[in-house]
Amino acid sequence: KFSIGDNIRFKISYNVFKEIKGLTITVALLSGLSKECLTLAHYEITKSNIAAGTAGEVVIEFPDIYMKPGEYPLYFELMDSEYNPDSKDVIDDLTAPLIINGGENIEQTDFRPDQPSGFFAIPSRIIRNEIQDKVLKEAL
């Protein structure tokens, strides 16, 4: 549970079971009713080949979030950089939803329950990328 204006961080840990070319990650917030994607963060973790047995961790942050209060089911996806569907791993609506409460910053918004809302973009950034740090150290 978070309030408007909070920083939200997702820490994703993973293991690679067969060699892949690069790695991308997607974190999506879905509609609670239709399960449509409302907004997402998509990043290429590395373009380098990743050997089987490699473990990694990435932390994605949605800073200072201002979105309509409610429940947002979550979608996580890891895939190689070539978007090969055989290398795709998904967690779709298998975690507790992200819950946004109004909090003390609700007065700084123009959310109105009688107004429709739609798709939106929110800023995000990677604040930790363990696999990329390891690849860079090996290159030095």
Task: Give the DSSP per-residue string, 8-61.
Answer: EEEEEEEE-SS-EEEEEEEEEEE-TTT--EEEEEEEEEEEEEE-TT-EEEEEEE
- Per the model's pLDDT, the better-predicted residue between 14 and 106 turns out to be 14
pLDDT category, 45, cuts 50, 70, 90? very high
123-137 mean pLDDT: 72
Residue 18 has pLDDT above 80, yes or no: yes
Residue 60 has pLDDT above 70, yes or no: yes
Question: Is 104 buried (19+), middle (13-18) or exposed (0-12) by CB count in 10 A?
Answer: exposed
Question: Is 100 buried (19+), middle (13-18) or exposed (0-12) by CB count in 10 A?
Answer: buried
- What's the one-letter identity of residue 9? R
Q: Whose CA is closest to 133, among 56, 50, 53?
A: 56
pLDDT category, 113, cuts 50, 70, 90? low
pLDDT category, 109, cuts 50, 70, 90? low
Can you give the pLDDT at residue 78? 95
